[in-house]
Amino acid sequence: MAKKNVLVAATLVAAATLTLSACGGNDTPKEGNQSVAEVSPTKAKAATALDRPYTKPNLVLKDTHGKEYDLREATKGKPTLIYFGYTNCPDVCPLTMSNIAAAYKKLPKADQEKLRVVFVTTDPERDTPEELGKWLKGAGNPDFIGLTGDFPTIQAGARQLGVSIEPSTKDKDGKVTSMHTKQVIAFSPKTDAGYLLYTDEATADDYTADLPKIVKGETP
C-alpha cells in the first residue's frame, strides 16, 4: 500500500509539470510519445525518474548555423538534455538555460564534450537560426544546440515527449505569449531513452549535482 501511495503521489507531481503555462514577452528578445503513468522520485528530488522512459523524438530541424540537424542521429549514444522554449520568454526559459549553463561549466572538459544540451524553439516564426545563436550565447552557452523549423514539426516532436506547446499569440498591446510546458528531459547515453524529468524548479546546484551522473547514464 505504501508503494502504491508513493507512485500515485509521484504521478500527480509529474502531471503538474505537463500543464501548459504562459510565458509573456515583447518583440525584443531578452538577453541573457507518451503520458507519464508511473514515476518514482529520485533521492535528490530535483528530477523525477521515469519508469516508462521516453523515446527520443524523430526530429529533423535547422541548427543555429542553418544546417539540417537530425536529433536522433546527432545525439545517438550521447547524454542529452532537451528543453522546449523561446528566446522572447522573459523568465523561465533564460533562467532554465542559465542554470544548466552554470552546471555545464563545472563539468570536466571531457564531460562537456560528451553532453548535448538542446534548446528547441516553440516560436520558430521569430526564432531564426541567427536569433537562436545570439540568444544562446547570452542565456546559455555557445556550445548548446539551438533548433528551429516549421511549427507543426516541432509540435509533433514535443508531443512525443509529453510536452504541450501552442502557437504564439499576440495581445492588443503587442505582447507575445507562448504556451508551453517547462520540463527538461535527460536522455541516457546507454539507452538513448529519456529517463529523467526536471521541472522549472530545478536550480543550478541541482544540475551541478546531477550532470556528472547523467553523463554516465546513471540516475542521480
Angle, alpha carbons 63-188-136 (nearest 5°):
30
Residues 6+ apart with CB under 8 A from 2: none
Whether pLDDT at 3 is above 70: no
Give pLDDT tens digits for 7-21: 433 443 444 344 455
Please write down the long-range contacts of 9-16, taking CB distance under 8 Å and 24 or more positions apart: 10/38, 10/39, 10/40, 10/41, 10/48, 11/36, 11/37, 11/38, 11/39, 13/39, 13/41, 13/48, 14/39, 14/48, 14/197, 16/199
pLDDT digit string, tens, across residues 174-213: 776 766 678 999 999 999 999 999 999 999 999 999 999 9
Burial 101-140 (b: 16+ CB within 10 A, else e): bbbbeebeeebbebbbbbbbbbbbebbbbebbbbbbbbbb
pLDDT digit string (tens) for 29-71?
Answer: 444 444 443 444 444 469 999 999 999 999 999 999 999 999 9
Q: Which pLDDT score, from 0 to 100, does residue 171 have? A: 75
The pLDDT score that the predictor gives to residue 20 is 58
Instruction: Please report the pLDDT score of residue 168 as a whole number.
Output: 77
Query: Chain-wide mean pLDDT for the chain?
Result: 84
For residue 120, pLDDT beyond 90? yes
Q: What's the pLDDT score for residue 5? A: 39
Model-level pTM greater than 0.75? yes
pLDDT at 41: 47
What pLDDT score was predicted for residue 57?
Answer: 94
